[in-house]
Structure 1
Amino acid sequence: MESFIPALNAIDSFMWGPPLITLLVGTGIYLTFRLQLLQVFRLPKALGLIFKAKNHGEGDVSSFKALCVALAATVGTGNIVGVATAVKVGGPGAIFWMWMAAFFGMATKYAEGLLAVKYRSVDEKGEIAGGPMFYIRNGMGEKYKPLAAFFAVATILVAYLGIGTFPQVNAIVDSFEISFGVPKLATDVLLTVLIAAITIGGLQSIAKVASRVIPFMAVMYILISIGLIAMHLDAVPAAVSLILESAFTGTAAAGGFAGSTIMMAMQNGIARGVFSNESGLGSAPIAAAAAKTKHPAEQGLISMTGTFIDTIIICTMTGLALVLTGVWQGDAAGAAMTSAAFASAYGFVGSQLLTIALALFAFTTILGWNYYGERACIYLMGTKGVMPYRLIFIVLIASGAFLKLEAIWILADIVNGLMAIPNLIALIALSGVVVAETKSYLAEEDAKKNAEEALN
């Protein structure tokens, strides 16, 4: 396997180079203009719907729980490790390009959520089934079934080999050993038992855990980040200025930082932003399809907030912590860099808090991706494939702490990109449906508002 690494590296570099990044961001830009900056003008309504959605329609879970399952998969190590990696290579300017990826990604995520509900189906167990494989087949037509199957296979591969297992397990066991001295085997056994207990219960069990853990971990991370920012409040204007300037001028070498060009800042910021919020990859609509809602556009708005929370809020907190404390100029990289930032503010407790946040982020990502892979498995093989899928997933989790094959990480990167391609083709092909559904929903909402105002 190791002999294939140079070839896999070449494929990976091409896959996550300008072609795919251009397609991902380009789709977001295209949808942004077709939807007339919906992510700006309808964001307040979208944020309000998270808690106020009526949940009257058909579905398996509430809109809030569907969002939590999607956030479980997206809010992960990328928010801590990914941001640090982007800033280490691309400088503070990478944070600006991360924001740009998220801004246009919100339109992409809206379209994904809308289409997921519009074209969802019911499986043989009576559970809601949806996601890109369904809007490709049901929206684009039966002749595109091979494209839908291609997406489903890529999703299972990502769940098994990529985001869903090894990187998350490694992050949890390594961080607990470093911060608390817990042996890897002990952490791995406990993690495997927890994952098995939750995933055997299916969506309801995953959604129940996600809806409790996600708000807690997001609020905890935001609070410790705000505390750090408050300690450096006078330096915030200069930090924001540095982020904006570096985005368009590059960053000179300083301390242990080697310097970066505008292209390095742009490429790393956009790539890490997309990795973090998964806008365009087609993962979140699998969870969105299960939401109890009558109107596809309503779930589209709720789905859109996932990108806002993940990148505009949580990734920004990490980015500001790195810039304000100056650790981006040091020799540390990845999780160690973010840990150094929090340790500078809170001492040893800071790195321990970060370890807990990282472990929770990684744990919920495993749950979210287990569900995504399971739905893809049902699409391809029916419900008879569920139990074998779950058992393989649990075995991979158990072995994940001890697997460090470089080729597996590169392969995971590649299949991650393969998920995005059929999804982006579908989003562009069905953009007319997205626009029509949006106009219908907004007209209905405006009519309701006018009727209420007339009564008052």
Structure 2
Amino acid sequence: MQELNEILKTIDSLIGGSQWFVLLLLGTGLFFTFYLKFPQIRYFRHALRVVRGKYDKDEDVGDTSHFQALATALSGTVGTGNIAGVALAVHLGGPAALFWMIMTAFLGMTTKFVEVTLSHKYREQAKDGSIAGGPMYYMKNALNLKWLAAIFAVATIISSFGTGNMPQINSIANSLESTFGFDKMFTGAVLAIILGFVIIGGIKRIAKVTEKLVPFMAVVYFIGALAVILYNIENIVPSIISIFADVFSGTAATGGFLGASLAFAFNRGVNRGLFSNEAGQGSAPIAHAAARAHEPVSEGLVAILEPFIDTILICTLTGLVLLSSGVWQEKIENKFQEADIVLLDGAYDDANPEDKVKLGDHLNQESQLPLFNGDLTVTEGRIQDAVTVIHARSVAEDVHVQISKQPYTGKVHVEDGMLKTGDKEIVLYGKSLMHSAPLTAEAFKRSFLGDYGQYIISIGLLLFAFSTAISWSYYGGRAVTYLFGSDAVKYYRVVYVLGFFLAAFTDTTIIWTLSGVAIALMTIPNLVGILMLSKEMKQTNQEYWEQFRSEWPDEKTPEPGAKLKSNA
């Protein structure tokens, strides 16, 4: 598992985890924000009117309403990114990472507007009569780059597993196991069966499910988060200050948190921001393509609302829960993830300022501490050698080794700091920092609800993540339709449900590393495509407002009344 994770981490460091990818993502959003004169601000109120159906026409073509398309797209984005992804970003980059998540969302509002508009403009009707759309169709029809469309479609299929499938069920299974003690395999089997029944019905059944799930789960989560924030109200102002205090310097070491550099906080914040709202990834345009509309810009306007709801509202709420409760820097008793364990040769103490700097530099990849190699001696569950166990980017304390839930005595082989347990089911427990869904669940305990708060995370995560998996099955199915025709979708759905089941009991760290790779593979061709169509996007937008003013002359618009030039 550790070797596989290291391979995936290397791939991720070259693409999704690299600075050039982050700059491409933010740069695209920044370019369109200025090029289209801040549409995320100017068009926001108009977008609310569109999603309510104020300007709909009876003859509009599509399978879903504006609201259903928004709900389906939101169900694809509001998921583990809002609960586990925010916790992972803060765990890796500290409070400053939350700032970069919010900035990614603000620029992502424009990116979503552009990609959804273009994809809706070039959508097609599939052989089965359903509406098919997405970036692959504008790549084929507008750019005449069928090879790029094929690359994107393949990446979408991969990402349907890496973004919408595996991280979702893995987070659900971990949460239900820690809260209720449910076996992960049992959870995976039950939810895989339910998933299969839902996705067989296609987009119309998916839309009916998501339009009911999304509002309900958002209200439940909001109430639970508010209970934490009010309980820790004295920490809110310091928490907000901490988000902005270290934006351009990195987050200093506090508590069990060993610090994060500016580059680390920036990269992880943007990366997790993308995982959360998917702006630029090209997934939401597939859902919006099915919406009933007589022209594309109106659906693009609806998409502006997604990153605002998903990240600026829900992710910020989660971030304030984590920061105000203080759990992000506390060491808590937990079961260690094998791929998240590193053993250093020698004893290091994070209470020692000098050691703390060395450990922080090591974890931020600014220097290298010696890794342990050889056999560990374990007696009655306790490691006898002079080693430092690093788990979840923190120095683990009170480490005990178990096999079949009993204290282990014997040898454990270690190579380059990684455990090599072979066929032995050896598990490490102890106190360390936590991340992902378990960290958010721990934060929800620090409220008026006490331990009952974790149930909100378990139930909320179940609804959030399951609805995400439903939506992504549709995205992957549309990519399969593009590549192989609608008849091949049934085979894809079988594999999708099977992967959903298996991921329930796969190592969490590997799942999240894979998600970073999958996101980048899908995002890069989409960003390249929309940049190539920037002039067409501007002209399409201008034509929309000219037509809108002629049809609704009494309606106040954010665009000036004079006719605009058609060329950029």
* TM bucket, shorter chain: over 0.9
Residue identity matched to 1:23? L
1:98-113 matched pairs, under 5 angstroms: 98-113=101-116
CA change 1:405–1:33 in 2 (3 A) is: closer
Q: TM-score, normalised by structure 2?
A: 0.76
1:415 aligns with 2:518: yes
Q: 2:76 aligns with which of 73, 77, 81?
A: 73
Alpha-carbon distance, 1:394 to partner:
1.8
How big is the alpha-carbon RMSD for the aligned residues of Structure 1 and Structure 2?
2.0
Matches within 5 A, 1:264-413: 264-331=264-331, 332-345=434-447, 346-404=449-507, 410-413=513-516
Shift of residue 449, structure 1, vs aligned partner: 5.0
Give yes or no for contact 1:71–1:310 (8 Å, CA) kept in 2.
yes
Q: Is 1:440 equivalent to 2:543 in the alignment? A: yes
| C-alpha contact (below 8 Å) 2:252/2:259 kept by paired residues | yes
Change (3 A) 1:84 1:296: same
Look up the equivalent residue of 1:340 and give its one-letter code. Answer: E
Change (3 A) 1:14 1:379: same
**Superposition deviation, residue 236 in structure 1:** 2.8
Which of 87, 94, 99 is 1:91 aligned to? 94
1:154 aligns with 2:257: no
Task: Give, in whole Å, the separation in 2 of the partners of 1:298 and 1:320.
Answer: 33
Distance 1:408 1:87, change over 3 A: closer
Please state how far the C-alpha of 1:404 moved relative to its aligned partner: 3.8
- Counterpart of 1:133 in structure 2 is 136
Call closer, same or farther: CA 1:6–1:96 in 2, change over 3 Å: closer
Contact 2:239 2:323 (C-alpha < 8 Å) held by counterparts: yes
Counterparts of 2:180 and 2:81, CA distance in 1: 22
SS of match in other structure, 2:246:
helix
Partners of 1:172 and 1:379 in 2: CA distance: 31
Give the whole-Å Cα distance in 2 for the aligned partners of 1:357 and 1:424: 32
Does residue 324 of structure 2 align to residue 222 of structure 1? Answer: no
Give the structure-1-normalised TM-score: 0.94
Q: What letter is aligned with 1:263? A: A
Letter in 2 for 1:134: Y
Alpha-carbon distance in 2 for matches of 1:309, 1:452: 26
Alpha-carbon distance change, 353 to 399 in structure 1, aligned in 2, over 3 angstroms: same
User: 1:27 aligned to 2:28?
Assistant: yes
Higher helix share: 1
2:119 corresponds to 1:119: no
Greater mean alpha carbon deviation, residues 174-183 or residues 304-313:
174-183
Question: Quick one: distance in 1 between partners of 2:185 and 2:116?
Answer: 39
Higher strand content, 1 or 2: 2
Partner amino acid, structure 2, of 1:440: E
Instruction: Give the total of aligned pairs.
Output: 450
Q: Which amino acid in the other structure matches residue 357 of structure 1?
A: G
Quote how far apart the aligned CAs of 1:309 are: 0.7
Q: What's the offset of the Cα at 1:401?
A: 2.2
Question: 5+ residue gaps in structure 1?
Answer: none
TM-superposed CA distance for 1:47, in Å, is 2.6
Question: What amino acid maps onto 2:445 in structure 1?
Answer: A
Q: Identify which range, 185-194 or 228-237, moves more after superposition.
A: 228-237
Tell me the equivalent position of 1:49.
50
Q: Which amino acid aligns with 2:259?
A: G
- The CA distance in 1 between the partners of 2:26 and 2:453, in whole Å, is 35
The corresponding residue for 2:368 is none
Shift of 1:445: 3.3
Deviation of the 1:400 alpha carbon: 2.6
Shift of residue 264 of structure 1? 2.2
Q: Distance in 2 between matches of 1:178 and 1:263?
A: 33
Asked whether the equivalents of residues 28 and 104 of structure 1 are also in contact (C-alpha less than 8 Å), the reply is: yes
Aligned residue identity for 1:250: G
Give the Å deviation of 1:113: 1.1
The 2-side partners of 1:191 and 1:99 are apart by 32
1:257 matches 2:260:
no
**In structure 1, what is the equivalent of residue 372 of structure 2?**
none
Cα displacement string for residues 204-241 of structure 1 (whole angstroms, at most 9, x for unaligned residues): 11111111101111121122222322334454333222
For structure 2, the residue ranges without an aligned partner over 5 or more in a row are 332-433, 557-568
TM-superposed deviation, 1:266: 1.4
Distance 1:432 1:452, change over 3 A: closer
Alpha-carbon distance between aligned partners in 2 of 1:251 and 1:399, rounded to the nearest angstrom: 36
Q: Distance in 1 between the 2:329 and 2:511 partners?
A: 31
| Cα distance in structure 2, aligned partners of 1:230 and 1:445 | 45
Shift in Å at residue 4 of structure 1? 5.9
Q: Distance in 1 between matches of 2:3 and 2:99?
A: 38
Question: Are the structure 2 counterparts of residues 2 and 90 from structure 1 closer, same or farther at C-alpha, using a change threshold of 3 Å?
Answer: closer
Once residues 409 and 225 of structure 1 are traced to their aligned partners in structure 2, the CA distance between those partners, rounded to angstroms, is: 24
- Displacement of 1:334: 2.2
- Between the aligned partners of 2:235 and 2:150, the Cα distance in structure 1 is 51
Moved more, 104-113 or 387-396: 387-396
| Structure 2 match to 1:213 | 213
Report which structure shows greater RCO (CA 8 Å, sep ≥6).
1
Cα distance in 2 for residues equivalent to 1:18 and 1:127: 39
Asked whether the equivalents of residues 445 and 452 of structure 2 are also in contact (C-alpha less than 8 Å), the reply is yes
Q: SS of the counterpart of 1:164?
A: coil
3-state DSSP class of the match of 2:304? helix
Partner amino acid, structure 2, of 1:254: T
Between the aligned residues of both structures, percent identity stands at 42
CA distance in 2, matches of 1:370, 1:51: 26
Corresponding position of 2:61:
58
Alpha-carbon distance change, 202 to 294 in structure 1, aligned in 2, over 3 angstroms: same
Q: Which moved more, 1:119-128 or 1:435-444?
A: 435-444
User: Aligned AA for 1:41?
Assistant: R
In structure 2, distance between residues paired with 1:323 and 1:199: 37
